[in-house]
Amino acid sequence: MTPPAGLPVDRPVPAGYAAGARAPWWVKLTVKLALGALPVPAGAWRAIGLRRHSFGALDPDRLVEPLASRARRFEEVAGRAPRAVLEVGPGAMVLRAPVAAALGLGPVWYLDVEDSAPRDLAPYRIAAEAARKAGLVPPDLSGCASRADVLAACNARLLVGGPEALAAVPAGSVDLVFSEVALEHVRRDALAPLLAALRRVTAPGGLGLHAVDFHDHLGGGLRHLRFGPAFWDGRAVARAGLYCNQLGLSQILAAFAAAGFSARASQRLVWPLPQLPPGGAHPDIGRAPEDDRICHAALEVRPA
């Protein structure tokens, strides 16, 4: 049964969703914290397959259709195709720049706190070929000798930094803003500046589409809510690559509203019972009880 207009479509969380490695949660936490304390750059961990962003980046199902579906949703809402787009926290998915260009999108902006985009040209050529197989016409990358050449051919640009990096994007110029499980990794004190910057660059009639995970990233529940901000927002958790901001859906929606957006959840994955740690969430987090059954949500955001 379809819910009334404006209400989210709720689905049960699949069994084993985001469960991670088969080990006790505390063991995984201890190992992650210990590895994070070692003087090893994050890039070195990713080079050996740990702390990687964008798992399955070259999965054919992730190359064309997710981007095409977002463009279609914008067209349904706005009555026209989008042009300028911005992806927040793309990680390796910058490699979809040829797909974006093949869809007629551009300029394409990518914002990330670190440069995790491939420098090798092969992933971009694979994405271009996936677009071609989907009946699109990607840019010709045969003359590209560097990633910079590829991005230029796709009318795309990678911005590395925090919200201040969006100063490079003209005000009111972006039709479509989206992110895939990135907003939960934005630090609490950086979320308001980021959303304010997104409001500045979003065009009148623009649309934001954001997928947000609310579960912990070691076992798929809410065990991370045991810890208060004094520890969880500290360096040890960040170095271990475990940080997610502990915010619930209602807090994320309120942050969008404070930035000048109208935001709603269009779809949610919901547990039958809250997956809280023994003793419940730490009182300093300030979670609303209704958020404790929500594992994941898809948000639609428009300028208010």
pLDDT in tens, 212-222: 999 998 888 99
Give the Cα separation of 138 and 41 in Å (integer): 35
b/e per residue 87-121 (b: at least 16 CB within 10 A) = bbbbbbbbbbbbbbbbbebbbbbbbbbeebbbeeb
Q: Give the whole-number percent of the chain exceeding pLDDT 90.
A: 78
- Which phi and psi (to 5°) does residue 210 adopt? -130, 130
**pTM score:** 0.92
Residue 16 has what pLDDT? 87
Is the pLDDT confidence value at 5 over 70?
Answer: no
Q: Topology of 9-303 in CATH?
A: Rossmann fold (3.40.50)
Is the pLDDT confidence value at 27 over 50?
Answer: yes
CA 304 to chain centre: 22
Over residues 272-276, mean pLDDT: 93
Over residues 275-291, mean pLDDT: 91
Instruction: Output 176 or 47, whichever has higher pLDDT.
Output: 176
Give the Cα separation of 79 and 224 in Å (integer): 42
Enumerate the domain spans of the chain. Answer: 9-303
Residue 1 has what pLDDT? 44
Q: Give the whole-number percent of the chain exceeding pLDDT 70.
A: 92
- Residue labelled with tokens 């985001």: 18
pLDDT digits (tens, 9 = 90+) for 44-103: 655 555 555 545 667 878 899 999 999 999 999 999 999 999 999 999 999 999 999 999
- Residue labelled with tokens 């590395």: 160
Residue 55 has what pLDDT? 56
Q: Sorting pLDDT into bands at 50, 70 and 90, what band is 38?
A: confident
Over residues 149-171, mean pLDDT: 98
Residue 45 has what pLDDT? 55
Residue 43 has what pLDDT? 62
Over residues 129-136, mean pLDDT: 96
Is the pLDDT confidence value at 118 over 80?
Answer: yes
Residue 7 has what pLDDT? 82
Q: Sorting pLDDT into bands at 50, 70 and 90, what band is 2?
A: very low
Residue 46 has what pLDDT? 56
Is the pLDDT confidence value at 292 over 70?
Answer: yes
pLDDT digits (tens, 9 = 90+) for 237-263: 988 888 999 999 999 999 999 999 999
Instruction: Share the mean pLDDT of the chain.
Output: 92
Task: DSSP for the chain, please give it.
Answer: -PPPTTSPEEEEPPTTTT--SSS-HHHHHHHHHHHHHSS--HHHHHHTTSS-SSTTTT-HHHHSHHHHHHHHHHHHHHSS---SEEEES-GGGGGGHHHHHHTT--SEEEEESS--S--SSHHHHHHHHHHHHTT--PPP-TT--SHHHHHHHTTEEEEESSGGGGGGSPTT-EEEEEEES-GGGS-HHHHHHHHHHHHHHEEEEEEEEEEEE-S-TTTSSSGGGGS-HHHHTSHHHHHTT-------HHHHHHHHHHTTEEEEEEEEEE-SS--PPTT-S-GGG---GGGGGEEEEEEEEEE-
Residue 121 has what pLDDT? 97
Taking the C-alpha atoms of 28, 29, 34 and 35 in order, what is their torsion angle to the nearest 10 degrees? 60
Residues 6+ apart with CB under 8 A from 78: 175, 205, 207
- Distances 142 to 46, 130, 135 between C-alpha atoms, Å: 28, 16, 19
